[in-house]
Each structure stands twice: as C-alpha cells, then as structure tokens.
Amino acid sequence: MPASAKICGLSTPDTVDAAVSHGAAHIGFVFFAASPRDLAFGQATGLAARVPDHVGRVGVFVDPDDALIDAAINAGKLTALQLHKAAPARAAALRSRTGLEIWAAVAVRARTDLDAARSFDGAADRILYDAKTPEGSALPGGMGVRFDWALLDGFPHPLPWALSGGLDATNVGEAIHRTRAELVDVSSGVESAPGIKDMDKIAAFLKACAAS
C-alpha cells in the first residue's frame, strides 16, 4: 500500500490546492515565529477553509503555550497538533485538554535518540521521527537535513509513526521502501526557497509517494 503524505509549512492558497488535488493526506500549518513558514491566524483561517474534511489539518508548534495552541486550533480548524521540544507530560496534557490527535516529534541523529519515542507511549498518538538539526539552529526541522534511515532497522515502534527530514521527490520512494514508513512528511523538499512552496515539486513528491 502506498505511503500517505503530509505537506508541511503551506502558506498560500495555490500550494494548499496543489497538495489537496494531488492527494496529500495531511496539510501542515506552522505556528512558530522563527520559521519562514510561520502563519498569522488570519492566513490560517483562509487556508483551512480550502482543505476538505478528509484531509488532516496539522498545527506545528515548538514548545507552545496554551494561548497559542488555542488560537491556532480555532484559526486553522486543526485536527492534530505536532509538537517539537515538548515533554511527554506536556503532550499528554494537551491531548487531554484539546481532545486532538498529538504527534510528538523525536529528533534523530543516533540510534539512542530513538529511545525518546517510548516516553510518549500513552501521551501521544503518533511519533514523527525527524532529523536532529545542527546545534544552535533556530529551527527544529524544515532544514532539509536527513538522518540515517538504517537507524530505524528493528526498532520496536511504540506508536504509529511518520518519517521526516530531508525528503524530496527523488528520495522518498527509497525512504519508504527502506523504512516501511506508512506516512512521510515533507517541507523544505518541496520548496524553491525557504518558506516558498513549489506546486510542481508538491505534485512530484505526492506522485512518488503514490508509486511507492
């Protein structure tokens, strides 16, 4: 069965339409001021209105406070929260308070980094394995960095999971075949410049997923 895909960091109507029309299972809206993909709430409201109900609307956050979460959920009509740099207890609290699906990002560079996934069992609904960005980076992801997929070999995943980090149309087929990922997540790999999504790259990425 082909892997499904999340196209993350969308910020314009045409790129949202491209992702939906070419079969994205999830759309990602970023709410993090340091990111070139950061959305204002008004933008999110307009974009969310273009997303049909069968496509998930995932809000992406970095150690967010409750006020940001609540405003983003309302603006983006979010169906899931993707949390970076959030402890399991925080993930569990947001899951309980909002009733939404929680995706917990685990930053990976070495095999031992995967151990963090186990701490989210019972606190989150899905693990997002993403590449650990260089020390001192302002962003926890979306930088086109990938990790060694072989690190996932034989790892007993505690939860449903998604693969992220450095994916694009040229390598996602290999990534899916290598890791058996059922869900893949892309951001910079479908951009022409940081924060600027490319409709042709979105289409090519989703076509490659469908062919996997």
Q: Which two tokens stand for residue 47?
A: 């974009």
d(CA 15, CA 56): 15
Q: Which two tokens stand for residue 92?
A: 């569990």
What confidence score (pLDDT) does residue 146 get? 87
**Opening angle at CA 211, ends 207 and 212, nearest 5:** 120
- 157-176: string of b/e by CB count within 10 Å (b at 16+)? eebebbbbbbbbbeebbebb
d(CA 124, CA 60): 14
Please count the residues of the chain.
212
What confidence score (pLDDT) does residue 134 get? 64
What confidence score (pLDDT) does residue 142 get? 53
Q: Which residues are catalytic?
A: 8, 130
What confidence score (pLDDT) does residue 137 get? 56
What confidence score (pLDDT) does residue 140 get? 56
Task: Select from 81, 72, 83, 22 the least CA-distant residue to 48.
Answer: 72
Q: pLDDT per position in the chain (212 positions), as tens?
A: 789 999 999 999 999 999 999 999 999 999 999 999 999 999 999 999 999 999 999 999 999 999 999 999 999 999 999 999 999 999 999 999 999 999 999 999 999 999 999 999 999 999 999 998 766 555 555 556 789 999 999 999 999 999 999 999 999 999 999 999 999 999 999 999 999 999 999 999 999 999 98
What confidence score (pLDDT) does residue 60 get? 97
- Whether CATH 3.20.20.70 fits 4-210: yes
Whole-model pTM: value is: 0.94
d(CA 72, CA 88): 21
Q: Give the chain as a DSSP string.
A: -PPEEEEES--SHHHHHHHHHTT-SEEEEE--TTSTTB--HHHHHHHHTTS-TTSEEEEEEES--HHHHHHHHHHHT-SEEEEES--HHHHHHHHHHH--EEEEEEEESSGGGGGGGGGGBTTBSEEEEEEPPPTT-S-SS-SS----GGGGTT---SS-EEEESS--TTTHHHHHHHH--SEEEESGGGEEETTEE-HHHHHHHHHHHHT-
